[in-house]
Amino acid sequence: MKIEAKKDRFPRNFCLAFTLVFLILYWPGLLGMPVRGVFAHSEDVWTDFLFRWRKADLPTGDPRIILAALDEETGQKYGFPLPREVHARLLEKLKTYGVKTVAFDVMFYEPRPGDARLEAATRHFGRVIHTYNFAEKDVEVPGRESMEVISVTEPIPGLKESAQYLGYVTVQNVLDPDGHMRQVQLFDQRTQDLRDKNQIAASIAAASLASLLDEPLSELRARFAEPRPRMLLLNFRRPVEWLRHEKRDEAENRGGRIVNLATVESSYRTISVLDLLDGELTSGQREVLKGSLVIIGSTALGYYDHYPNPFGPQAAGMEFHANSIDNALHGDFLRATPRLYILLVLLVLIWLPLVLLRFAPVVGNTVAAGVLALWLVVSYWQFYHGVRIDFVAPAVALVFSFLALTVRRVLTESAQKKYIQHTFGQFVSPDVVEKLIEDPSLVKLGGEKREMTVLFLDIAHFTTISEKMSPETLILFLNKYLSALSQVIHEHQGTVDKYIGDCIMAFWNAPLDDPDHRAHACLAAVECQKKMTELNKDLDPSLPETPAIRIGLNAGVMTVGLTGSEKKLAYTVIGDEVNLGSRLEGANKFFSSHIMASQSAYEGAKAAVVGRELGRVRVVGKDIPIKVYELLAKPDELSAQWREVLPLYEAGLGHFHKREFDQAVLCFEGVIKAFPKDGPAAFYLNASRDYSAIPPDPDWDGVIKLTAK
């Protein structure tokens, strides 16, 4: 039985609205808004976390890239900023060490003493990269709107001409709002190469790479800047601890002195400029310097540009240049998953909770958690293979959508459970209510036709009994009997429809399916008669009558559902078959029987109860007669006397219908002898005697016409 409550449109409408809002938050560019998405920073932080998570598995920096550190010790000896003569001497030293390319992350923008020597050393070395800077600024033009212009800060003229390449060190366009540099642009189309105005500018990283690989800048431009320069995601290398002064520390150790082996953490071998100038190098350092690219930059506090990276709060700017060169050398920049793919994932994860609403909460929760865990694994797996996936936005989309729909489900189901408890708690057993609460879909708002069994129970002589009682006593009396009898019905899976004064109306096979509803209803009727015997044991002797009950049972197709007004609904059953059940309860009066069941009800319960035929009757309002039976007891509870007398009763009924009324009289007299108060036997005994004296019409068919309800 499936419930068709008013369709809840909230989940679908929520998913539609959430999809629209979330996509705008995730990708403002869809609407032409030039802003980063709400999740951009979170995705960056998540990527930083992934770098730390797999730190041990990250590759180390390319050994051909070496950082020459202008550290505190170098500054203590030569002062800051380092004199130009010292830079010139450093170039000369690096030439003797066999260094292939030198890139200065040092600005030489203003003339100073020693420029000539530095220019000469640059020209002599041949493969030197010097830097320049550029910036955008708004300029007010009278009578016109302000316009953006590029302001370029060039190196001193001698270095500009003597350097192999010039590379810009501008980072504003790649700097994230939190101060991190997670991406690089090897070329920038906003300004021209200072050597060739027809070419877009190369970064210090691109210029250094061209020199190291002996590859023309034009080829690198074709690779990284066509059809236009693009942003590349840095794939950071694993940081390693390097001794600040390897040769000096070794010497002091050999001298037996206690030394503080201060270290610097960097992804690339870092050598102090002081050691390079003094020649205090280990054999290993000298070996790696041959054919290498040396980037010269400051690491002294207060004299260098530093930026956070995934592994620490500050790293020298030249390390980012090194990382960019390293990624380009190995072709392993992080690759970003196309946003259209992520949009598809977002749509799936936003709408997945809507699908999960069709399943039990345990299943839905498990699937949602499993999908979230799977997305985490996919994100890590892709990152491990050099692909950055936006993890946070899809995860938030799933979690938020799932939580919103789950909260809605909890609130809805809570209200639904209260409604079911209120509607059915007084009609069915607590076990049935619990099942309905567990699966509200078993309840159907509206009516449905189905095979059911209906029971009507009425307390005989109630009017006479009630006249001798005060109102308070009468209510207590009714509550006692109706409560006990209702409990019997509940125990046999019945649903109490309503109480009509001293009458109980109940039915089976709704709201829960009950394939054996006929047997359960008949058993409940028999048990109700037994319960009456128990209830009457402590009966008030002043009552004029002993309470007894009459029961009518019928089975057939009926309409069941919630009916009533908008403010008050009742779960009930209606139809002709219901009316017939009510008629059968009243028909007990004609036979003085206790439980009258229609043939349709009794046929499905023969294995559960013993009954006897009462004959064919035509109830008021019906033209077609039906066969009815009286239920006696469960097979194992039928008394030995009844087992002996029942065949005699059946023989008498057979003679009666064959118009053998004298033989019928003898049989029914035998039944009355055993059970003097048996109503059906007395009814047929009197009828047989009457028909024996005055035979019925020739067209008599044995049908008993009931003249009252």
Q: Domain of residue 401: give its range.
A: 10-38+337-414
242: in domain? no
Single out the residue of 303, 234, 253 nearest to residue 47, CA to CA. Answer: 234
Distances (CA, A) of 128 to 159, 204, 554: 9, 11, 105
What is the pairing mode between strands 293-298 and 65-70?
Answer: parallel
| In a shared domain, residues 346 and 486 | no
47: in domain? no
**E-assigned strand segments in 198-333:** 200-202, 232-233, 240-243, 263-266, 269-272, 293-298, 306-309, 312-316
Ranges 108-112, 210-214, 511-515, 660-664: which has the least confidence: 511-515
388: in domain? yes
* pLDDT > 70 in the chain, percent: 88
Structure confidence at residue 252 (pLDDT): 58
| In a shared domain, residues 479 and 620 | yes
| In a shared domain, residues 521 and 624 | yes
CB crowding 618-642: b at 16 or more within 10 Å, else e:
ebeeeeebbbbbbbbeeeeeeeeeb
Q: What is the pLDDT of residues 32-72, one digit of tens each?
A: 655 678 899 999 999 999 999 999 999 999 999 999 999 98
| In a shared domain, residues 646 and 629 | no
- When comparing pLDDT for 30 and 462, which is higher? 462
pLDDT for 257 beyond 90: no
Q: How confident is the model at residue 253 (pLDDT cuts 50, 70, 90)?
A: low
Task: Please give the average per-residue pLDDT across 651-680, as a whole number.
Answer: 95
Q: How confident is the model at residue 191 (pLDDT cuts 50, 70, 90)?
A: confident
pLDDT for 428 beyond 60: no
| In a shared domain, residues 506 and 570 | yes
What DSSP character marks residue 542?
Answer: T
305 SS3 class: coil
| In a shared domain, residues 489 and 570 | yes
Contacts of 596 (CB under 8 A, 6+ apart): 550, 551, 552, 553, 584, 585, 587, 588, 614, 628, 629, 630
Structure tokens, 612: 């006897």
Average confidence score pLDDT of the chain: 88
353: in domain? yes
Do 127 and 320 contact (CB within 8 A), yes or no?
no
Domain boundary among 372, 390, 414: 414
| In a shared domain, residues 516 and 550 | yes
155: in domain? no
Structure confidence at residue 646 (pLDDT): 96
Distances (CA, A) of 563 to 428, 436, 635: 17, 18, 39
Q: What is the pLDDT of residues 271-304, one digit of tens each?
A: 999 999 999 999 999 999 999 999 999 988 777 6
What DSSP character marks residue 203?
Answer: B
Element (H, E) at 168: strand 165-168
Domain boundary among 635, 659, 684: 635
Q: What is the pLDDT of residues 329-379, one digit of tens each?
A: 999 999 999 988 999 999 999 999 999 988 888 999 999 999 999 999 999
What is the pairing mode between strands 128-139 and 165-168?
Answer: parallel
Q: How confident is the model at residue 156 (pLDDT cuts 50, 70, 90)?
A: very high
The CATH number of the domain where 439 resides is what? 3.30.70.1230
277: in domain? no
Structure confidence at residue 4 (pLDDT): 41
| In a shared domain, residues 384 and 531 | no
- Please give the angle made by the CA atoms of 562, 567 and 573, to the nearest 5 degrees: 20
- Please give the angle made by the CA atoms of 518, 520 and 522, to the nearest 5 degrees: 70
Do 571 and 597 contact (CB within 8 A), yes or no?
no
Structure confidence at residue 3 (pLDDT): 41
Q: How confident is the model at residue 709 (pLDDT cuts 50, 70, 90)?
A: low
599 SS3 class: helix
Distances (CA, A) of 374 to 39, 50, 351, 389: 20, 16, 17, 13
pLDDT for 612 beyond 60: yes
Amino acid letter at 428? Answer: V
215: in domain? no
Domain boundary among 355, 390, 414: 414
| In a shared domain, residues 463 and 491 | yes
310: in domain? no
Q: What is the pLDDT of residues 17-26, one digit of tens each?
A: 999 998 888 8
| In a shared domain, residues 534 and 408 | no
| In a shared domain, residues 565 and 457 | yes
Total of domains in the chain: 3
| In a shared domain, residues 468 and 507 | yes
Q: What is the pTM of this model?
A: 0.66
